[in-house]
Amino acid sequence: MNWLYPFSRTDFFFIALFVSLYALYIWRTFRLARQLNTSAWGVVPKFFLRSSYLTLLIVALLGPSFGEAEGDLTTTGHDTFLVVDISRSMDANDVVPTRLERVKYDIQHLCDTLPASRFGVVLASSESFVLSPLTADQDALKQFIREVHTSVAPTGGTDLCSALELAYQKLLTDSSTHQSVRSIVLFSDGENFGPCERTTFARLRAQGMPLITVGVGSEAGSSIRKGRDFVRDDDNQIVRSRLNRSFLQELARDGRGHYTEADANGRYVNELAGILRSLKGGVINQHHIAVSTNKYYYFLLAALGFLAIDLILTIRTFRL
């Protein structure tokens, strides 16, 4: 038999306290019986009864484990590239504080929610580049994410599909991902100025890499701060950036993934984590294990039975 908890000084203290007080009670009872010139042996059965259920309660508290429960322990790896849009439109504040700051915070929350997953980051703009390869060091990843700003992006229109192609190539060429569940998550407002080749999505489907898109922004849109002014177009009109929901939904549909939308409180992160957990993939490790199970309830039920007998059973202490 194994024990979940070891004997402690507290256990010994209560045992000693019980024995001492009960010994005092028996001594006083027999002393009174002598004065009454009678017998007090009725206290002895109660002593053994109460000692029994106290012992059983202590054994139950210590967590006795015996017997074995067998089962298979399966480990599945999850590798995900996060593609983050860092174009100037991500500075819009229709999502507080800005679209990009919301994404940065939510990615850190996602890492905390899925601590066993590996994540990599690709930054998407007119030119895409890898901010972090796949890593299990999520503290380092979160530090990289905190340093991301739209000012690091090259000028020009956003090319989201080239960033998706880059993430796909990184997942495909990394041999450590071949037995893992592989996926791509795109955080963007959906403003795209580059071509999207259908072959990219065909390869994603063939390799079983679902594309999850996260819409960041609102259909009402927002202007974009630029110093003390706002970003303006060639006609000197203030540019208003809007969420292109239909484009992101189309990407998710072509990539056999899901579309979700960022909210002000970040509640969608739990939904996104649930989607990633539900993805099916290869098993990277499997063990057959046998473990002892905690059988405290046997001793607890026995103790309660003795306690019930103690309450029901009446024994005359003095024989007059």
In a domain, residue 319? The reply is: no
Residues 27, 28, 34, 35: what is their CA dihedral angle, to the nearest 10 degrees? 160
Task: Kindly state whether residue 320 falls inside one of the protein's structural domains.
Answer: no
CA 190 vs. chain centroid, Å, equals 29
Cα 315 to the chain's mean position, in Å? 57
Same domain, 128 and 57: no
Q: Which of 42-46, 102-106, 252-256, 274-278 has the lowest mean pLDDT?
A: 42-46
Residue 222 CA to residue 242 CA, distance in Å, equals 7
3-class SS letters over the chain: CEECCCCCHHHHHHHHHHHHHHHHHHHHHHHHHHHCCCECCCHHHHHHHHHHHHHHHHHHHCCEEEEEEEEEEEECCEEEEEEEECCHHHHCCCCCCCHHHHHHHHHHHHHHHCCCCEEEEEEECCCCEEEEEEECCHHHHHHHHHCCCHHHCCCCCCCHHHHHHHHHHHHHHCHHHCCCEEEEEEEECCCCCCCCCHHHHHHHHHCCCCEEEEECCCCCCEECEECCEECECCCCCECEECCCHHHHHHHHHHCCCCEEECCCCCCHHHHHHHHHHHCCCCCCEEEEEEEEEECHHHHHHHHHHHHHHHHHCCCCCCEC
Tell me, yes or no, whether 317 lies in a domain.
no
What does each C-alpha distance from 46 to 22, 26, 38, 304, 314 come to in angstroms? Answer: 10, 11, 18, 15, 9
Residues 234, 167, single domain; the answer is yes
In a shared domain, residues 125 and 154: yes
- The answer to whether residues 297 and 264 belong to one domain is no
Residues 94 and 238 in one domain: yes
Domain membership of residue 253 as a residue range:
77-278
Place of tokens 């849109």: 221
Q: Clarify whether residues 181 and 219 are in a common domain.
A: yes
Does 9 share its domain with 90?
no
Q: Has residue 218 been placed in a domain? A: yes
Number of folded domains that form the chain: 2
The model's pLDDT over 230-245, given as tens digits with 9 standing for 90+, comes to 888 778 888 899 999 9
Under 8 Å between Cβ of 275 and 258: yes
- Looking at the structure, do residues 224 and 274 belong to the same domain, yes or no? yes
Give pTM, 2 decimals. Answer: 0.66
Whole-angstrom distance, CA of residue 317 vs CA of residue 272:
69
Domain-embedded: residue 283: no
Same domain, 52 and 111: no
pLDDT digits (tens, 9 = 90+) for 130-185: 999 999 999 999 999 999 998 777 666 789 999 999 999 999 999 888 888 999 99
Domain of 89, CATH number, reads 3.40.50.410
- Split at pLDDT 50, 70, 90, the class of 287 is low
- On whether both 175 and 300 belong to a single domain, the answer is no
Residues 106 and 217 occupy one common structural domain: yes
In a domain, 284, yes or no: no
Question: What is the distance between the alpha carbons of residues 91 and 264, in angstroms, rounded to a whole number?
Answer: 15
Tell me the pLDDT band of 12, cut-offs 50, 70 and 90: confident
Percent of the chain with pLDDT over 70: 89
* Residue 57 counted as domain residue: yes
Residues 64 and 191 in one domain: no
**Structural domain includes residue 232:** yes
